[in-house]
Structure formats: C-alpha cells, structure tokens
C-alpha cells in the first residue's frame, strides 16, 4: 500500500477506455491510494472513503467495472437495492451501460478493475463458444465468488510499479476476467443477431485457425473452410468474432505464445515456429508490440 494517497492518476496511454467511474469518484471525497494502467486497455485502482453520508451516481460509464470491497462498507448501499449492505470480500459488477446510485456511509476501502466490453465478449468465442453479440457483464451488487475474491486480494497485495510488476498484475486481471465471463455473463437485451455466421461455422473457423497457427492462413483459406466467398466471409467474420480475421489470428498467435512461454521450456525459436512467425526477430517484435515486453522477459516474469 502506498505511504500516502495519490491525488490523481497518470494520464493514460493511447486507449479507448472512457474511465468514467474513475472520474466520477475523483469528484467525490474518495481518495486514490494506488492506480496503474496495466496494458491491454486495462486499469486497476484502490480507493478509500470516509464520510458520514454521501451519494455517488454512475450513469452509463461506457466501460465495465469490477469492484471488490477491501474494508468497511457495512453501511454502504445501492439506492435501487435498499437494505443490502457491503462488507469486506463482497464483489460488484457494473456493466458499461448500467445506471446506479450509491449511498456511502462511514468507512469504505475498495479495489476497482476497469475494462472494456470487448475484453469480456471476445473471450465468449474462445472460452464459451458464444458470439460476442450475445453476452455482456451482468449488473450484480454484493455477491461472493471465491476465485475472483482471491485474485482481487492478490492484486491488492502485489506491487504495480515497474514493467515486471505490471505484467504480473496484467496476467492476474486476465485470469479474473475469465472467471467473470463464466460466472457473471448475462444475455444482451439489445443484441442484434442479424448477420454473422452460424454457430457451426464459427466453431469450424475457430478450430481451423487454432489447428493452423503455425502456418500461413489466408482469407481464401478461411472462406473455403466456411463455404463462403471471401467478401462475405470478411464481413461476417467481423460480426461473429468481434474483430476482422487478421486481428483475430494475430491475437490467437500471441495468446499461444504466452501459453507456451508460461508452461514450457521450448527454445524461443521453437515457440516462434509453433505460432507461425516468420523468424525469431519477427516474433520478438510482434510479441513486444502486443504484450509490452520481450518473449524472454515475459517468460522470466510469469513462468511457473
């Protein structure tokens, strides 16, 4: 924990996160203890508040927020759910389009993780075999989840200063988001399900890409696997996967590299080959651009 509260957060790197919840809290009596941009358009903060009574409103912030109570909160309640109070270990999830008003009384200390809807829904394809359009983060107040609570407590205890510490925190948040997807996903009320490929074709494309990450993959190959023209495949892929084919394949190559670096002792050249990179230099450049550190440094920091 920092020796004294921070009065502001550093300016963000280039990012699309609006960070509205953070800015709302800065307009209250809440004091910021720690803050970090973790890369991948993820941010984490620890706040504390001490007040007789104060109301705070969050109105369609545009990003998702995970809140974990570290201390106090026994008389803090959400106006829409009177009589439900917080306590240490309790969790809340605030989706990007939610609206809520909270009455904070006495002492409260909490950790926030800020992330984009895309962080949540992109995982739907790979981890749940669901379309990104189908799911969003549920609006939940004061629930318990052992694994998510453990990861939030770990985030509080770990340092966030320096590249190695930020990388460990980034990995911890990504693991947290996987648990959130499985336990706190909700159907989108406004989902437009027109267009896109069928679930069977999406699954076929996913398996095709995963089985060929060590080789060149072209739009024509994907179109043939899907039974579509290249033009229609490109448009429908973006709808059903939430990203164009080249970006999806690039993300999957980086993710495979991360897993191999964490869980195996393969030489870096073999990792590059297994992920379809032209050579070790190309692999190192792409990996550093995506993750923020070299493959060698990543392995040293996160390998178990």
Region of poorest pLDDT, from 10-14, 127-131, 138-142, 210-214: 10-14
What is the pLDDT, as a whole number, of residue 242?
Answer: 86
In terms of Cα–Cα distance, which of 96, 122, 133, 113 is closest to 176? 113
For residue 200, list its beta bridge partners: none
Nearest-angstrom CA–CA distance, 112 and 67: 5
Look at the chain and count its residues. 304
Q: What is the 3-state secondary structure (H, E, C) of the chain?
A: CCCCCECCCCCCCCCCCCCHHHHHHHCCCCEEEEEEEEECCEEEEEEEEEEEEEEEEEECCCCEEEEEEEEECCCCEECCCCCCCCCCCCEEEECCCCEEEEEEEEEEEEEEEEECHHHHHHHHHHHHCCCHHHEEECCEEEECCHHHHHHHHHHHHCCCCCHHHHHHHHHHHHHHHHHHHHHCEEECCCCCCCCCCCHHHHHHHHHHHHHCCCCCCCHHHHHHHHCCCHHHHHHHHHHHHCCCHHHHHHHHHHHHHHHHHHHCCCCHHHHHHHCCCCCHHHHHHHHHHHHCCCHHHHHHHHCC
* pLDDT, the chain, mean: 90
Which of 16 and 270 is assigned the larger pLDDT?
270
Which of 277 and 2 is assigned the larger pLDDT?
277
Q: Tokens representing 53? A: 């009574």
Q: Tokens representing 83? A: 């009589």
What is the pLDDT, as a whole number, of residue 304?
Answer: 60
pLDDT more than 70, % of the chain:
92
Positive or negative torsion for Cα 184, 186, 191, 196: positive
Average pLDDT (60-67) is 94
Beta carbons within 10 angstroms of residue 130's beta carbon: 18
Q: Tokens representing 4? A: 């004294």
Confidence grade of residue 68 (pLDDT, cut at 50, 70, 90): very high
Nearest-angstrom CA–CA distance, 176 and 278: 33
Beta carbons within 10 angstroms of residue 120's beta carbon: 23
What is the pLDDT, as a whole number, of residue 131?
Answer: 84
Average pLDDT (171-196) is 86
Structural domains in the chain plus CATH codes: 20-187 (2.60.120.10), 199-302 (1.10.10.60)
What is the pLDDT, as a whole number, of residue 254?
Answer: 96
Average pLDDT (6-23) is 63
What is the pLDDT, as a whole number, of residue 6?
Answer: 43
What is the pLDDT, as a whole number, of residue 7?
Answer: 39
Q: How far is CA 84 from CA 5, 46, 88, 204, 299, in A?
A: 29, 22, 14, 45, 44
């Amino acid at each position: 924990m920092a020796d004294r509260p921070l009065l502001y957060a550093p300016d963000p790197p280039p990012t699309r996160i609006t960070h509205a919840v953070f800015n709302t809290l800065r307009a209250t009596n809440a004091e910021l203890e720690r803050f970090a941009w973790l890369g991948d358009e993820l941010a984490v903060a620890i706040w504390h508040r001490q007040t007789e009574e104060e109301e705070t409103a969050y109105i369609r912030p545009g990003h998702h927020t995970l809140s974990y109570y570290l201390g106090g909160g026994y008389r803090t309640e959400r106006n829409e759910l009177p009589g439900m109070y917080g306590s240490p270990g309790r969790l809340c999830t605030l989706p990007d389009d939610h609206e809520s008003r909270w009455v904070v009384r006495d002492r409260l200390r909490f950790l926030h993780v800020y992330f984009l809807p895309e962080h949540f829904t992109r995982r739907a394809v790979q981890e749940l075999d669901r379309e990104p359009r189908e799911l969003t983060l549920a609006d939940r107040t004061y629930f318990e989840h052992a694994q998510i609570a453990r990861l939030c407590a770990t985030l509080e205890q770990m340092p966030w200063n320096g590249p190695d510490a930020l990388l460990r925190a980034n990995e911890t948040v990504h693991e947290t988001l996987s648990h959130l997807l499985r336990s706190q996903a909700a159907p989108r009320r406004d989902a437009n399900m027109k267009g896109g490929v069928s679930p069977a074709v999406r699954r076929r494309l996913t398996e095709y890409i995963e089985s060929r990450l060590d080789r060149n993959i072209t739009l024509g190959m994907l179109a043939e696997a899907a039974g579509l023209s290249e033009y229609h495949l490109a448009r429908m892929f973006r709808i059903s996967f939430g990203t164009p084919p080249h970006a999806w394949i690039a993300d999957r190559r980086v993710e495979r590299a991360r897993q191999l670096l964490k869980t195996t002792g393969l030489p870096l050249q073999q990792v590059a080959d297994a992920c379809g990179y032209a050579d070790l230099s190309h692999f190192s450049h792409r990996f550093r651009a995506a993750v923020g550190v070299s493959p060698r440094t990543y392995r040293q920091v996160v390998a178990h």
